[in-house]
Amino acid sequence: MRQSKFFMPTLKEAPSDAVAESHKLMIRGGYIRQVTAGVYAYLPLGYRVLRKAEGIIEDEMEKINVPEMIMPHLLPATLWQESGRYKKYGAEMFKLKDRHGRESLLGPTHEETFTEIIAKNLKSYKQMPLALYQIQTKFRDENRPRFGLLRGREFVMLDGYSFAATRDQLDEQFDDQKSAYKRIFKRAGVTVHPVIADSGTMGGKNSTEFQAPAAIGEDTIATNEKGTYAANLEMAKSIDTFKQEPEDAKELTKVATPGCDTIEKLAKFLNVPATRIVKSILYIADDQKVLVLIRGDKQINEVKLGHVLDADEVHEADTADLKEITGSEKGGVGPVGVGPVNADWADKIIADETVKDLYNVVVGAGETDYQFENANLDRDFKVDEFVDIRTANEGEPDPVDHLPLKFTTSIEVGHIFKLGTYYTKTMGADFLDQNGKAKPVIMGSYGIGVTRMLSAAVEQHLTEHGVAWPKEIAPFAIHIVQMKMNKEDQTELAEKLEKKFSEKYDVLYDDRKERAGVKFADADLVGAPIRITVGKKAADGIVEVKRPTDDKATEMSIDELDKFVN
């Protein structure tokens, strides 16, 4: 590809609203352009990376015998009414009406669509185990689309669904997918931790997330030193469910602080003295789900879990409410981060996006030298002492045995679920077993945020002035940069190299009449694994070679270059 013909509108500066490094890079490098909030055009460079990632996925799905297909984006509301999710899914769903007034939606995920096809077309146990997948644009009206491709309102997802006649079949399918996902991330150069994730009402072992550690990540994962324990601290989905069904709140807190049925265990889990803990309250602020500890002045021996507060309740909680919640005579009691503490401080905590600050609130509770009325961050709570208490791992090893836990911010790049029979039961997807008996198909669902994964790759492979794309998803494998377009010997050599390497690799040849500085700056943004500069020594068959992570370029003869490239 000749760069003079390539459309890659680069910018010196990222727009001021871009916060995430991956977002800045993709805008500066001319990979993407925003069309409206959370909705992007993939320009040629970005689209190449996307297609490469999709290629890896297709390859790995082929290996586990999962065929690709494609579903419509536009779905009838009736489909979702059948599963009961039309209402439940909430504000994230893009809804619309057609000219006849029929309600429709743009698919945010496709459990229903696949289940219906299976309900109508799969009849016997002999047709299973079966799994299908698609790579498709999804629509979610995110409350806060941000960070470029990390949280879009329109994004590309790999979503797969498995159908089994028995639990064992499902387990096997799940393991196959899990291994395939690990290979996909490895090939895409994205370091991930498979972690225990919230699985709604499904129970612990049934849900695994693939979390890519990165500073910009919106999730926090807990891992132990031995590497035997890793969990997401987020309880997002189940909290919404539990909110609707307060009865289940108890169940939730059990999941949130597994094995912590006494104050001692909880304290140990949190790594704080037991005297600091009186009650746990599940605190919901906007999208953030946080377990907040409220300190009272009485020592109690049992953790009373299960009281769910709405964000509004927390904001408006006054002394009297807190008195009731904590059962403390003093009322004020040092609610951690909420209630009658200094309002500015409480707002700051609540408004703060970082999990870190939210958890500072735990530290210091119950300490005599700490203040709770008019408490101040830094003065009363130390930033480096925070502990994070969200986790979800029912049925998994008790994390209390795995202390100390380390907390890392990370990006959820994939999520796999053992769904069971929820959809197939509600939507009537039955099959006949060996004995001719009708049973509901057992499902699994599997997803990777493909476009989000690309951002994660950038976050993990930033260089001083650009990016070092992992080989398999790099937009170009080789970038030939010719210094002076009016030097014939340079043109001759550059074209020769272009021709030769193009047989095996994707080559971008910078044949623009631009200054060297401009060319190099753009090359940093392209981030090809190998950059070949054809300059002064072209006549002697000498070029300069640099990988994005190298400090300096190395001179090479054409023979040496051949060896280096192959």
CA 395 to chain centre: 23
Please tell me the chain's helix, strand, coil percentages from 3-state DSSP, rounded to the nearest 5. Answer: 40, 25, 35
Q: Least Å distance between CB 162 and Mg ion? A: 17
Alpha helices in 38-136 (DSSP H): 44-63, 77-83, 85-88, 111-121
Choose the binding region for ligand ATP from 45-53, 264-272, 412-420, 511-519 (rule: CB under 6 A). 412-420
Sequence-separated (6 or more) residues with CB below 8 Å from residue 338: 283, 292, 294, 314, 315, 317, 346, 349, 350
- 364 touches ligand ATP (CB under 6 A): no
Q: Which residues of 94-133 are buried (b: 16+ CB within 10 A; e: fewer)?
A: beeeeeeeeebbbbbbbbbbbbbbbbeebeebeebbbbbb
What is the distance between the alpha carbons of residues 35 and 37, in angstroms, rounded to a whole number? 7
- Contact partner at residue 482 from ligand ATP, Mg ion, none, CB < 5 to 8 Å by partner kind: none
Choose the binding region for Mg ion from 35-43, 128-136, 410-418, 454-462 (rule: CB under 5 A). 410-418
What is the distance between the alpha carbons of residues 202 and 3, in angstroms, rounded to a whole number? 51
- 335 touches ligand ATP (CB under 6 A): no
* Sign of torsion over alpha carbons 3, 9, 13, 17: negative
- Contact partner at residue 444 from ligand ATP, Mg ion, none, CB < 5 to 8 Å by partner kind: none
Q: Is residue 314 within 8 Å of residue 351, measured between CB atoms?
A: no
Instruction: Using CB under 6 A, pick the residue from 452, 519, 531, 546 that binds ligand ATP.
Output: 452
- Contact partner at residue 529 from Mg ion, ligand ATP, none, CB < 5 to 8 Å by partner kind: none
Q: Least Å distance between CB 149 and ligand ATP? A: 6
Choose the binding region for ligand ATP from 96-104, 175-183, 305-313, 411-419 (rule: CB under 6 A). 411-419
Using left for φ > 0, alpha for ψ between -120 and 50, and beta otherwise, residue 60 falls in alpha
Tell me the two tokens of residue 29.
């490098």
- 544 touches ligand ATP (CB under 6 A): no
- 274 touches ligand ATP (CB under 6 A): no
- 32 touches ligand ATP (CB under 6 A): no
Q: Least Å distance between CB 91 and ligand ATP? A: 13
- Provide the terminal-to-terminal Cα distance of the chain, rounded to the nearest Å: 20
Q: Least Å distance between CB 236 and Mg ion? A: 5
Instruction: Using CB under 6 A, pick the residue from 82, 111, 142, 176 that binds ligand ATP.
Output: 142
What is the distance between the alpha carbons of residues 503 and 418, in angstroms, rounded to a whole number? 44
Give bridge partners of residue 450 from the DSSP assignment: none
- 415 touches Mg ion (CB under 5 A): yes
**Whose Cβ is closer to ligand ATP: residue 290's or residue 375's?**
290
- 85 touches Mg ion (CB under 5 A): no
**Whose Cβ is closer to ligand ATP: residue 125's or residue 446's?**
446
Choose the binding region for Mg ion from 51-59, 106-114, 267-275, 415-423 (rule: CB under 5 A). 415-423
- 289 touches Mg ion (CB under 5 A): no
Widest Cα–Cα separation across the chain: 88
Q: Is residue 218 within 8 Å of residue 181, measured between CB atoms?
A: no
Helices (H) and strands (E) in the chain, counts: 18, 23
**Whose Cβ is closer to Mg ion: residue 111's or residue 412's?**
412
**CA nearest to 210, candidates 420, 410, 496:** 410
- 111 touches ligand ATP (CB under 6 A): no
- Name the DSSP class of 381: B
Q: Least Å distance between CB 172 and ligand ATP? A: 22
- 459 touches ligand ATP (CB under 6 A): no
Q: Least Å distance between CB 415 and Mg ion? A: 4
Instruction: Using CB under 6 A, pick the residue from 32, 57, 66, 157 that binds ligand ATP.
Output: 157
**CA nearest to 561, candidates 540, 530, 536, 535:** 530
* Sign of torsion over alpha carbons 305, 311, 312, 318: positive
Q: Least Å distance between CB 153 and ligand ATP? A: 7
Instruction: Using CB under 6 A, pick the residue from 125, 147, 155, 469 that binds ligand ATP.
Output: 155
- 146 touches Mg ion (CB under 5 A): no
- Contact partner at residue 157 from ligand ATP, Mg ion, none, CB < 5 to 8 Å by partner kind: ligand ATP
Residues 206-245, interacting with ligand ATP (CB under 6 A) = 236
- 189 touches ligand ATP (CB under 6 A): no
Residues 420-449, interacting with ligand ATP (CB under 6 A) = 447, 449
Q: Least Å distance between CB 311 and ligand ATP? A: 18
Instruction: Using CB under 6 A, pick the residue from 24, 85, 146, 151 that binds ligand ATP.
Output: 151
What is the distance between the alpha carbons of residues 429 and 172, in angstroms, rounded to a whole number? 21
Residues 196-225, interacting with Mg ion (CB under 5 A) = none
- Contact partner at residue 151 from ligand ATP, Mg ion, none, CB < 5 to 8 Å by partner kind: ligand ATP
Tell me the two tokens of residue 182.
């690990």
- Over the window 360 to 399, marking each residue x when it contacts Mg ion by CB under 5 A and - when it does not, the resulting string is ----------------------------------------
Is residue 22 helix, strand or coil? helix
Residue nearest to ligand ATP (CB): 449
Q: To which residue do tokens 């939507």 refer?
A: 427
* Alpha-carbon separation of residue 522 from 340, 479, 481, 529, 530 (angstroms): 54, 11, 10, 14, 14
- 193 touches ligand ATP (CB under 6 A): no
Residues in touch with Mg ion (CB under 5 A):
412, 415
Residues in touch with ligand ATP (CB under 6 A):
109, 140, 142, 151-152, 155, 157, 236, 412-415, 447, 449, 451-452
